[in-house]
Amino acid sequence: MQRPPKKYIVQIDNFRLAEFIFYWMYYDQPCSLLFQKPRTEGLTAVKLIVDNDEAANFLLRAKEKTGCKLYTVDQ
């Protein structure tokens, strides 16, 4: 189901990236991911847009299981 798009930046430890991608694959790649190296060593930033229920479910599960931090981006 479509929902209003909401932009997020995910801050995740490099060692948890494989687990994050596992959940993305498990939820059938519900959104595009853009990986960026932030200025903080040992972390990765992932930009994504949640605009459907599957993407929202994926992001909530990934946050719960990996301990990543979510930041909303103002439109």
The pTM (predicted TM-score) of the whole model is 0.89
Q: What pLDDT, on the 0 to 100 scale, is given for residue 64?
A: 97
CA–CA separation, 5 and 22 (whole Å): 23
Tokens of 42: 């040992």
Are the C-beta atoms of 19 and 67 separated by less than 8 Å?
no
Are the C-beta atoms of 72 and 6 separated by less than 8 Å?
yes
Q: Over 80: is that where the pLDDT of 1 sits?
A: no
| 40 or 25, greater pLDDT | 25
7 forms beta bridges with 49, 73
The CATH code belonging to domain 2-72 is 3.30.70.120
CA–CA separation, 7 and 43 (whole Å): 19
Q: Where do the structural domains in the chain lie, given as residue ranges?
A: 2-72
Which tens digit of pLDDT belongs to each residue from 39-61?
A: 889 999 999 999 999 999 999 99
Mean pLDDT of 24-37: 95
Confidence bin at 32 (pLDDT 50/70/90): very high
